[in-house]
Amino acid sequence: MTIFKAPLSRRSLLKSTAAGAAVLAAPGIISSSALASSGEVNFTGWAGYPGMAEKVFPAFEKATGIKVNFTEQPDQDTMFAQAKISLETGTTDVIEPTLDRVSAWASNGLLQGWDVGKLALDNYAPGLADGSAGERATIDGAKLFVPSVWGTEALVYSKESYKGEYGTASLGDLFSAGNQVTVRGHSAIAAMGRWLDSQGKLPKPWIDGYKDEKTMVELWDIALAEAIKAKGNVVQFWSGENEAQAAFRTNGAVLGLCWDSTGFNLVKEGYGYIAPKEGAFAWNQGLVLMKSAKNIEQAHEFAKWVSTAEGSALWATAFSSNPVGKGGIDLMDKAVSDFYKASFPGDALSKLYWWPDQAAWFLSKRGEYADKYKAA
């Protein structure tokens, strides 16, 4: 395995599993064509996750015989720039952006579709590579993105003060006067919008507000006004992990819309984490195949291995996130596995609400709305 170092920095990616969780490496079945050429794959991924080089890539190479040439990049903008260079040089086969960036990558002519016949789509847990996530990953009939890890923002709650049962717990509970809550500004407005939408109280579907500024203003004005009416039960706004935990430990919050890392870190203190009936907010990152990729067969073996129980467990452990492969969670630390299964029972995975594509104009307006909400 060869590692090419780029400037190192950790991005603000939510942490939802225990550090150092133990997993088993996978035995591999590899197509003969994958080894018929170079027997290597050139992969660009996130900097700052040493477990990738120390455990994940060696396990993949042991399972398949394919060497990973790994280039670390600190953020998606740098990855995008490298992808443009690779279009001319062919030096990169696979990169790992998030789903909300794929349409922009595709419109710049950087990607080719995965050959789904050379993957194993049945490996993925329901709702991760199919459903709405699968639809967004498919452009002009081509599957451009397959997931590698994912995480959520859902309900953290006091088991003593809130009945956190799946199927009844709701985003609407964040705005009930009987609950003392903690939220992020923009997430709270989005939660209100989604709850109003589920009640049939919006003139247009909430998702339409991500498509153009006029519709966003129309819908976010409504959601903001309703959120402000219920703002009296907000005991603290949070912007990072420490603030979110402090809201429960010291400021009296009994319910919050928080990252799964917050729930996991508080689980031993009498708190739980549950997906609301409207679906947890969710993000995922995954693998895209460069149009100029040279190691096509190896790239497909790489993506397929990441979708296995063993491969996905190793990948998720390195990122402290959730595995994409069926059975992957069972190979992770028991505390992580128990937390995951309690948080996403029944059909919770199929109801995940993937954060939509958010253009620069949207992010700017979103910040304005969050500021208005917090200042009201």
Tokens of 6: 């780029």
Query: Are residues 185 and 142 located together in one domain of the fold?
Result: no
Check pLDDT > 80 for residue 11: no
pLDDT of residue 259: 93
Q: Whose CA is closest to 79, among 49, 104, 44? A: 44
pTM attached to this predicted model? 0.82
Query: Tens of pLDDT along 205-251?
Result: 999 999 999 999 999 999 999 999 999 999 999 998 899 999 999 99
Q: What is the pLDDT of residues 108-161, one digit of tens each?
A: 999 999 999 999 999 999 999 999 999 999 999 999 999 999 999 999 999 999
Q: Which range marks the domain in which residue 100 is found?
A: 2-150+284-353
Domain match, 364 and 259 both = yes
Burial 292-329 (b: 16+ CB within 10 A, else e): bbbbbbbbbbbbbbbbbbbbbbbbbbbbbbbbbbbebb
For 240-252, letters b (16+ CB in 10 Å) and e give ebebbbebbeeee
Domain containing 75 — which CATH number?
3.40.190.10
Residue type, 262: T
Query: Is residue 366 located within the same domain as residue 228?
Result: yes
Dihedral angle sign, alpha carbons of residues 97, 141, 103, 79: positive
Count of structural domains, the chain: 2
Residues 249 and 211 in one domain: yes
pLDDT tier at 3 (50, 70, 90 boundaries)? Answer: low
Same domain for 234 and 188? yes
Q: Are residues 201 and 342 in the same domain?
A: no
28 has a pLDDT exceeding 80: no
Two structure tokens written together for 344 = 């996403």
Residues 323 and 228 in one domain: no
Q: Are residues 65 and 15 in the same domain?
A: yes
Q: Are residues 121 and 161 in the same domain?
A: no
Assign 47 to helix, strand or coil.
Answer: coil
Considering the domain architecture, whether residues 203 and 269 belong to the same structural domain is answered as yes
Q: Are residues 87 and 194 in the same domain?
A: no
Pairing of strands 181-183, 142-143: unpaired
- 3-state DSSP call for residue 96? coil
Which of 268, 250, 213, 297 shows the shortest CA–CA distance to 30?
A: 297
Q: Verify that 17 and 138 share a domain, yes or no.
A: yes
Of 215, 170, 225, the residue nearest 195 (C-alpha) = 170
